[in-house]
Amino acid sequence: MLRAWAALLRLYIYGYLNRVHSSLALCVLGYNLTRVLNIVGTKPLLAAVRA
């Protein structure tokens, strides 16, 4: 995941792809959700989403 994020970031910085921004945003969102799941856990996260 981090490798794909780094590749998209490099393409975004150099301006090779115009639509990299949305793909980069999805990669960052997935990375952040994975971090939250590892830190908080599944049950507390689902309880927070349902509240």
Q: What is the pLDDT of residues 4-46, one digit of tens each?
A: 767 777 766 666 666 666 777 787 888 898 999 999 998 998 8
Handedness of CA 39, 33, 1, 12 (dihedral sign): negative
25-29 LR contacts (CB < 8 Å, sep 24+)? 27/1
pLDDT of residue 38: 93
pTM of the model: 0.56
Both structure tokens of 40: 């908080």
